[in-house]
A and B are shown apart, each in its own frame.
Chain A
Amino acid sequence: MTFSWAPVIVIDIAGSAITLLTAFWCAVLSRKWTRQKPDDIFRHYIFLLTLAIVLFAISRSFGHLAKQLLLINDMGSTWEQISPYSGTINSVTFIVIFAFSLYFHRFRRIHTRIEKYKNNLEEMIALRTGELNEANLTLENVLNSSNPLCITTVDHVILKANDAYWAIWPGITEEKLKCYISRPGPFCQTEECPLFQIKAGQKEVFREISKKIDGVTRVFIVTGRPFRDLDNNLVGVVESFQDISPQKKMELALASEREQLAVTLRSIGDGVITTDLKGNILLINKVTEHLTGWSQQEAIGQPVEHLFKIIDENSGIPSKSPVDEVLASGKIVELASNTALIARDGTQYSIEDSGAPIFNKNSEIIGTVLVFRNVTEKRRTKKELLKVQKLESVGILAGGIAHDFNNILAAILGNIELAEMFVDSENKAYPLLQTAKKASLRAKDLTLQLLTFSKGGDPVKKTTSIAKTITESTNFILHGSSLSCQFTIPDNLWLVDIDSGQIGQVIQNLVMNAQAAMAKGEKIRIIASNVEQDNPAKPHHLSDKAYIKIAVEDDGYGISEAHLEKIFDPYFTTRAEGSGLGLAIIHSIIKKHHGHIEVHSKVDEGTIFTIYLPASKQHSPMIPTSTETTHSLETRKARILIMDDEVLVQDIAKLMLSTCGHEVLIAANGREAIDIFKEQQKNGKPVDIIIMDLTIPGGMGGKEAVIEILKTDPSAKVIVSSGYSNDPVMADYQEYGFKAALTKPFLLEELKTALRNVLVA
């Protein structure tokens, strides 16, 4: 069977051409595929294998095409010549392909290992990247949840900052923002800049800065620390910003509170001392400084006993410090009521005191606090009050008995005087009557003095210059004495509203005391002066007024300290002949004049009595209204009406007047006196003089009766008579319509004088 050879040739030529093209295409695709993953060694292997196969295909296809072309062109001999070369190349490609194929597994294994390593590496990288991202995220979270923080390079560029930082100092990191632009402040571009300090080698820098946010100033503490790279080179500074505004606010509030407490403590009117558990002083306030004479700087750390020296005021024996007792008992301790503090300069202050433990929040004692008060004046005032109360008691008693006692005395004295008239001076009874009369007069004086204490004995004040009262009273006492007095009384001494009689009595008593205390030839000094209302030397318990001051000084034997407190007590005297009423009366009179008396005395050095009397608002003395009596006029016979409730007085008065030749009518009270006066007037026998008792218990007294009598007869002559010699009516009788005043008990001569004066007037 014969088969055409043409298909062989056609397929050979076409197949070679197609193979050639396909091989080229394979080479191109293989190259592209390899380039898609250049680090894939297996692809490179496939690429090389493909190249070898392509090389085989090319060599074979070229060979076959050349053969067919040569044969077609009857160039078989040429083909015969090149055929071995083509075949050899073809064979070489077979060997190359073989060689490559043998390395398939090796390349595949290497590829697998590489892939495995690569995958492992990628996994590891992914893992590490994940960890890194997580760490980064954590770091970012931590960074953003912390205080404002920023990292600044050595060139002042903000490298990184957290959200808190940007919220306060807005800006963008990418803009290479400079720190001194972001948050300008006083340290910027100076050596105080934390970055400068860190660059200079500091390991940590602290600065305080402030920033106004929404109108509120916030304060930050900046902590700067070095920022280093992996090689430990300084590349910048890490600065954190802690907002301390609340702490600052609290600090200020605390300081303010502390200041307030300190000021309060310093301003407390009582002395305050705080000590530790050992009794050493921790703090004293201003009052304590003043009372003890120790400054706070000197006192701190000192044992409290050094500063707080206390004694029993009565005995002078040192008292125990209350600190020990407070620490032992853990309770509040009060000091004895008679405690006195001895200041650094020896001044003694009466104090009231209490000590209390200071507890901490765990109720443990950590010290003590002593609070004490200067009560020197208070105790003095209390003593004064006690004195006044004593005098008032005497006054009540005196006032009660004065009236009746004077009436009795009037009867006694009147009868003695009448008896004297009837007894010859040679008579043995005469000296007895004289003695009885003197005794009665002394009794009268005593009653008068007692009345000074009574409530009814208020002074009858008149605006006057006290200079005359002082000099006259003094000279009266010193008349005939070997002592003299040196007066220092300024011409411009202010006027005073005083009862001259009472103040004269005061001066007399003081001069008498001085006289008794001094030796012959010595001088008493009386110094008067004006005391302005704002004069700091004025005793502080005096009211805010101007005063005049009268000091009676002597250089006598003085008064002991123990006696000083008692000298104003009634019936207290150190002299055998003293009544004990002189200084008590002085005290009473001065008090009733709203004045003050004080005494300073040292044994064997002398005594100073100082009187303060309120100055008058008036500048000129009142013109005296009292009328001078004329003693030379004769008494004529008169019809005299006596009004007195006391029968003894009625009788003696009647007897005395009858003895003088007067016609006497008697009335027991004011109403009766008025009736008699009217009746006598109606009968054409008018009464010339009426002597009326001022006070009629249970009936109309002279004060009321004179008004009606004067209504009936404005020219009626009425004399007021009373045992209350210090009654205002007696002092100012004219104001009430009387023509004269007669103090019971009265002497016959006094009665005559009064009648004479009235009749003449």
Chain B
Amino acid sequence: MNRRFPAFACFWLALWLMAAGCSRHELAGVEFVAQWGGEGSAPGKFYEPIGVALDAEGNVYIADAGNNRIQKFAEDGEFLTEWGKPGNGEGEFDRPIHLAVSSADLVYVPEYGNDRVQVFDRNGQFQFAWGQTGANAGEFDAPGAVYIDANGRVLVTDFYNHRIQIFEVQGKFLQEFGSEGHEFGKLYYPTDVAMDGEDILVADAYNHRIQKFDTTGKPLASWGRQGKAASEFEVANAIAVDRQHRIYVVDFDNHRVQAFDAAGKFLLQFGRQGSANGQFNHPTDIAIDAKKGIIYVADWGNHRIQKFRMMKR
């Protein structure tokens, strides 16, 4: 037994190292898979699709901002259902933006115009809502994005209040951080938020940078500046993180997506201005199906959704 132990341990160590190596694969690039949509208001069409989110089954939810509705698709782009119309009642929208789906299969939709977050089940049945216009705790002035963390806390970007607010899953206010400015730790019209482990990542859109905070709101790191080169942005307006802690940033006016490692080191980019497959006209949001290595991008100006596959090295 004792003599066999080293061989046994070596076998498991080798297996673990192989698994770790596989799970930390390098990203060689992304390839275009499919696209769907097109300008219009019929089911499956879009007018300014601005937000994209996925549920656990891989269904795709789109905030169809110009049509003031949410549309739900299968992962291959097959239309499943839609809900919403212009207004401020339950199930009505005034510019739904960067939505999110919780692990409890609830769809959280922030609304710019109505200064609230509405919550629906996966078929569009209204569940509850919170928020009103203002700058106090729990109030919003153009909430632009929602992120639900592993602990069920809901992070909301508050565009005109230049802050991030954090709520319990039912909408009870917990904390806030951020204030208007350009210095390290300040925010200037934030448009998206995500988490990488315990770190909070903010798309600090009009500072043209990504900022990383701890859970208390203390700034930890920042990268990016205005420009067109790698690691530069022209409105960094959406953010997503994959299983390998790579951070994908939607670079609105440069019509591309840039990918970084967890420390903010540039890895690659994809997309350029245009309307062909793999090209963008002002992309606005990104969602990642980590299990399948699939990336969805809301191609706002082309009124469509594009689907990409990660290529491993």
Q: Do A and B come from one complex?
A: no
Q: Taking beta carbons and an 8 Å cutoff, which residues of A are in contact with B? A: none
Q: Taking beta carbons and an 8 Å cutoff, which residues of B are in contact with A? A: none
